[in-house]
Amino acid sequence: MKRRDVLKVAGIAVAAVAVGAQATEVTPAMNRMEMKPENAEKPTGFELKHLPQITVKDKDAKGYTNVEITIGQGGIIHPSTPDHWIDFISLYADDKLVGRSTLEAEISRGVAVFAVKLDNVKTLTSKAGCNLHGIWTASVTL
Ligand SMILES: [Fe+2]
């Protein structure tokens, strides 16, 4: 390969990197640390604000039960501002993932509803991600 051919190949590679860089979205840093209350028997207000509240609602004619998850517990609602929000909520039926809802800052707050077949399910577990304060988990036994 001649020197000029190498430069042509290098030029194509640089162009490909530049296009790739333009297509990449800039996402804010997310705290992905797994969190839990210091004292599970007596969570603080800050901890309650991040814990998923799981509410099992009505079952429809097709056998799906609506499970509503709101963040957080005890009537303390997590904020949703441009710099601080719940960015996802996921639900597990026993160990099986039911779904994951991705949420945007400010325009939505930490609420998700999943229609779930609960036959033989013993435990529902929800995980919620706060961009600043990590991932919080709560479960209910059915
Ligand atoms: Fe938070």
pLDDT digits (tens, 9 = 90+) for 20-50: 445 556 667 799 999 999 999 999 999 999 9
- Architecture of the domain made up of 34-141: Sandwich (2.60)
For residue 120, pLDDT over 50 is answered with: yes
CA of 117 to the centre of ligand 1 (A): 31
pLDDT in the model for residue 27: 66
Determine if the peptide bond prior to 74 is cis (ω within 30°).
Answer: no
Phi and psi of 20, rounded to 5°?
-60, -40
Q: Distance, CA 61 to ligand 1 centroid (Å)?
A: 37
How crowded is residue 132: how many other Cβ atoms within 10 Å of its Cβ?
A: 13
Q: Give me the amino acid identity at 16.
A: A
Write out pLDDT tens, residues 88-99.
999 999 999 999
Q: Model pTM? A: 0.81
Residue 113 alpha carbon to ligand 1 centre in Å: 20
Distance 116 CA to ligand 1 centre (A): 27
Distance 110 CA to ligand 1 centre (A): 10
pLDDT of residue 14: 40
Residues 60-73: tens digit of each pLDDT:
999 999 999 999 99
